[in-house]
Structure 1
Amino acid sequence: MPLPAFYALLQPDAALVVAFSGGLDSTVLLHQLRGWQQQHPQSRLRALHVHHGLSPNAERWAIHCQTICEQWQLPFEVLRVIVDGREKGIEAAARDARYQVLGAALQPGEVLLTAQHLDDQCETFLLALKRGSGPAGLAAMPSSRMLGSNPLLRPLLNQSRQSLEAYADAHQLVWIEDESNQDVRYDRNFLRQRLLPELCQRWPHFTQATARSAALCSEQEQLLDELLAGQLAELIQPDGSLHFPPLMAMSELRANALLRRWIAGQGGVMPSREALNRIRDEVMASREDAQPRLQFGQAELRRYRQQLYWLPLLSSLRGITLAWRDLGQPLTLPQHIGTLRASPSQSLLRYPEPDEQVSVRFHAQGHVHLVGRNGGREMKKLWQELQIPPWQRERLPLIFYNQTLICVPNLVVTRDGAATDQQGWQIVWDEASSAGEQQ
């Protein structure tokens, strides 16, 4: 079974990683790549096995994969995950967990290869059709994409399961069978066990025809990407938000196409038409002083000052109070939003009195008097003046001496906290660097 895609996609010195389940598909892929590597000795090849823990045989499968890799003298690692199917279902949750742990295990410059084949592609197309997906969903699985900063390749997409079985038999390969593949309660298994055999018996080239349809849908999506790229770039702000007023003047078709591409660029799941209508009616068209928000799985869409923001769903820090007893030690803030540390490099703050306890909170109300400004300001007005979006306001560390607000690190100092002589200090907030945490 020739795999000419390897010669076009792989560099002679490539660092390759196979997602190795131990099933037929990944066993054939790993064997093919082992042969390719032997012809390109400057390349590297290793295998990763994701242990989902969903089957009583999961441990035995991991041992089988390790044994195969030892026989073939390939580096091997088991990645264990916990799958929570309460929100998305077991199939989707397992897939998400698998790609997350695989992406985290990749080293810079490595290429991940997975073993989905022609029959898998057909199943993915039919599942998208069942959901009522548009061209993006019907494009099914691309032969290549990025997983974080690493390429992900699927070199078997043009090969049928039957051809993989023939290859495995010819090379006397041994593989495992997942007993859950027989459970037709799962949609993909129902298609595989019940529907596709009937379709292929009636139309022998059904899987190939479906793959062509998926490829055509993918081409249409790529064309739209090219046509809309310039306009989308004009709407996306430096912080990743989307300036939405121009969308309100466009046709619904164009506006929805731009919204979908912006959400995809933010890492969001492709929204349904109903969801897009809700974004338009409940978020973009809501009154100017509203604070609308829509939840999409583990993310939410919010609006602030004519911008749309796609944000990770995070719990509120409003009720948290942290005592900072030892100013000589950094203070780690919750939810990975960074650390606070004391610095004597600038005398911005007065030192606390012996009877004053230093604490960090994430909510304040009432009036504050700021250094260098006349009069007091309500906290809400201060946040608006500083252009702090509502969802960020309860994620900013507020420094208190007892019950008195002293400063917001990196932003403002109150008169009650200002240094009055040379003996002072400042608080440095080392913020987390990920985009999701900064937002």
Structure 2
Amino acid sequence: MLYSQLSACLQAHAPRSKRFILALSGGLDSRVLLHLMGRFIRQYPHYQCLAVHVHHGLSANADAWVQHCRQWAQEEGIECHIESVTLTLGNRISVEQQARDLRYLALARHVQPDDVLLTAQHADDQLETFLLALKRGSGPAGLASMPVHTAFAAGYHLRPLLHASRQEIMGYGTEHQLSWVEDESNQDQRYDRNFLRHQITPRLLERWPGMRKAVVRSAALCGEQEALLRELLAAQLANALHSDHSLIIGELASERIGKQLIRQWLSRFDVRLPSQAQLQQIWHSVVMAQDDANPQLCWHNHQIRRYKQRLYIVNQWPDISDCYQSCEIDQVYSLPQGLGTISLRHSAQGNLRLPRDGEAVSVRFEPEGLEVKPQGRVGKRKLKKLFQEYGIPSWNRRRTPLLFYGEQLAAVAGLFVVEEFAGQDCDLDWQYDVS
């Protein structure tokens, strides 16, 4: 029964895919999925399957789990790859959430175009996810919980066991005499999901045995409603999106429509959605702020900022204003925080002169107090004012590379050359994908 459900699901949702990436924790659910996939690829040998085990290092048994996963995958004729990740304990993100985020990042590295990631969540997991969303006061998007099929990385994410119960999966594992690992953290009821699993859902299902299926059905209906909303607002979102991926405030219409457009905009760029209270704050404190204000709202690792009547998604980067990179001519240097590469290179049609003897070349990011005259301009101006004139948002002004000859600013990457350093000997080449 379970195998026929899986086979039908794979062929219905992955008709173009020939390769599956199986997330293998080694627990009961993924162990059963591994066994099912072994049967599937033996029946349909034109399909491929790769198992990926993510080693979090949180358990004393983690190394042993690696060996078990390798052995079980080998028994099924499936290659197994191990990904090791390191959690930063003690930060503001819960261990549970951080482990999940790092796990999916590791899995995404293996998903090529049209590949399908397989995970082993089932109907009981869906019930727990629904209840957690209910506890948070989520709307239809949150109550939709986990979809059966969705886009993921360069391919797709499929949960082929989502309509099966934990009891059915346990029955399959027992029937086929499978062994699996038991993660001791699953007994720790300090975690909300474990508390629900051990204390709440058994009593709910005892009282209402059909609740598991009812929740799966309700989650699917919420998902359909959310998909319909996206479809109805697609044209408005397209009109509101600027070419630099910012959101044009003047296209947001009413508060009700505008907040939905903001949510869909954030979803498009894989940003974790803000809570209802945070979304309310974005609307009233950022969108509706005075024109001369510099409003922002921070949550998780992102900020929403406003500049020139547009909203921007900004990563919360650490300050790099004290960063110093010495440079040699015709050498390429990597800049911090994904800011690309930079080089000062010889060019017969350049706009910079060569540095003179004793002028050490460096790249810095601290614009405070600098006053210069750009080539072709009249008079000196403070760099802060020049950034404003060139339309550089405030959060990027300490992330724009500044080229120094000695202790003098010679050029601002992508903007201008300082008058006294103009020439035709070389160019400052900053390669940075702003999208």
Q: Do both share a fold (TM > 0.5)?
A: yes
- Asked if 1:31 corresponds to 2:32, the answer is no
Deviation (angstroms), 1:10: 3.0
Residue equivalent to 1:63 = 67
Of 234, 237, 241, the match for 2:239: 234
TM-score with structure 1 length normalisation?
A: 0.93
Q: Contact between 2:366 and 2:398, CA under 8 Å: does it hold in 1?
A: yes
Query: Partner of 1:334: helix, strand, or coil?
Result: coil
CA distance in structure 2 between the aligned counterparts of 1:203 and 1:332, rounded to whole angstroms:
59
Q: Contact between 1:357 and 1:402, CA under 8 Å: does it hold in 2?
A: yes
- Asked if 1:90 corresponds to 2:91, the answer is no
Query: Partner of 2:320: helix, strand, or coil?
Result: coil
Q: Contact between 1:404 and 1:416, CA under 8 Å: does it hold in 2?
A: no
Query: Partner of 2:109: helix, strand, or coil?
Result: helix
Q: Contact between 2:132 and 2:193, CA under 8 Å: does it hold in 1?
A: yes
Residue equivalent to 1:332 = 334
CA distance in structure 2 between the aligned counterparts of 1:226 and 1:36, rounded to whole angstroms:
35
CA distance in structure 1 between the aligned counterparts of 2:277 and 2:93, rounded to whole angstroms:
19
Residue equivalent to 2:223 = 218
Of 241, 255, 259, the match for 2:258: 255
CA distance in structure 1 between the aligned counterparts of 2:217 and 2:395, rounded to whole angstroms:
45
Which stretch has the larger CA shift, 176-185 or 210-219? 176-185
- Asked if 1:427 corresponds to 2:423, the answer is no
TM-score with structure 2 length normalisation?
A: 0.94
Structure-to-structure mapping, 1:33-52, within 5 angstroms: 33-52=37-56
Of 175, 181, 197, the match for 2:180: 175
- Asked if 1:275 corresponds to 2:278, the answer is yes
CA distance in structure 2 between the aligned counterparts of 1:92 and 1:334, rounded to whole angstroms:
26
Q: Contact between 1:406 and 1:417, CA under 8 Å: does it hold in 2?
A: yes
Query: Partner of 1:167: helix, strand, or coil?
Result: helix
Output the amino acid matched with 1:19: A
Query: Partner of 2:41: helix, strand, or coil?
Result: helix
Of 297, 303, 307, the match for 2:300: 297
Residue equivalent to 2:344 = 342
Distance 1:13 1:299, change over 3 A: closer
Q: Contact between 2:21 and 2:50, CA under 8 Å: does it hold in 1?
A: yes
CA distance in structure 1 between the aligned counterparts of 2:289 and 2:13, rounded to whole angstroms:
48
Say what the alpha-carbon RMSD is for the aligned residues.
1.7
Residue equivalent to 1:147 = 152
Output the amino acid matched with 2:195: F
Query: Partner of 1:47: helix, strand, or coil?
Result: strand
Residue equivalent to 2:390 = 386
CA distance in structure 2 between the aligned counterparts of 1:198 and 1:295, rounded to whole angstroms:
39
Query: Partner of 2:15: helix, strand, or coil?
Result: coil
In structure 2, runs of 5+ residues without a counterpart are none
Q: In percent, how many aligned pairs have the same letter?
A: 43
CA offsets, 1:399-438, max 9 Å, x none? Answer: 111222111233211111111xx6x21221122x3xxxx2
Residue equivalent to 1:125 = 130
Residue equivalent to 2:288 = 285
- Asked if 1:105 corresponds to 2:106, the answer is no
Query: Partner of 1:168: helix, strand, or coil?
Result: helix
Q: Contact between 2:112 and 2:154, CA under 8 Å: does it hold in 1?
A: no
CA offsets, 1:277-335, max 9 Å, x none? Answer: 211222122222222221111111111100100111111222223222x3242233222
Deviation (angstroms), 1:59: 1.2
Distance 1:285 1:343, change over 3 A: same
Structure-to-structure mapping, 1:347-358, within 5 angstroms: 347-358=350-361
Q: Contact between 2:52 and 2:80, CA under 8 Å: does it hold in 1?
A: yes
Output the amino acid matched with 2:317: L
Output the amino acid matched with 2:157: L
Q: Contact between 1:81 and 1:98, CA under 8 Å: does it hold in 2?
A: yes
Q: Contact between 2:330 and 2:345, CA under 8 Å: does it hold in 1?
A: no
In structure 1, runs of 5+ residues without a counterpart are none
CA distance in structure 2 between the aligned counterparts of 1:220 and 1:199, rounded to whole angstroms:
26
CA distance in structure 2 between the aligned counterparts of 1:152 and 1:397, rounded to whole angstroms:
39
CA distance in structure 2 between the aligned counterparts of 1:165 and 1:21, rounded to whole angstroms:
16
Aligned length: 428
CA distance in structure 1 between the aligned counterparts of 2:380 and 2:40, rounded to whole angstroms:
72
CA distance in structure 1 between the aligned counterparts of 2:323 and 2:86, rounded to whole angstroms:
28
CA distance in structure 2 between the aligned counterparts of 1:78 and 1:332, rounded to whole angstroms:
29
Q: Contact between 1:20 and 1:26, CA under 8 Å: does it hold in 2?
A: yes
Deviation (angstroms), 1:387: 1.2
Deviation (angstroms), 1:154: 0.4
Which stretch has the larger CA shift, 209-218 or 98-107? 98-107
Which stretch has the larger CA shift, 301-310 or 176-185? 176-185
Distance 1:350 1:13, change over 3 A: closer
CA distance in structure 2 between the aligned counterparts of 1:401 and 1:184, rounded to whole angstroms:
60
CA offsets, 1:230-269, max 9 Å, x none? Answer: 111111111111111343x51x322221121112112222
Deviation (angstroms), 1:12: 7.6
- Asked if 1:9 corresponds to 2:10, the answer is no
Query: Partner of 1:18: helix, strand, or coil?
Result: strand
Distance 1:37 1:140, change over 3 A: same
Deviation (angstroms), 1:369: 1.5
Deviation (angstroms), 1:13: 6.2
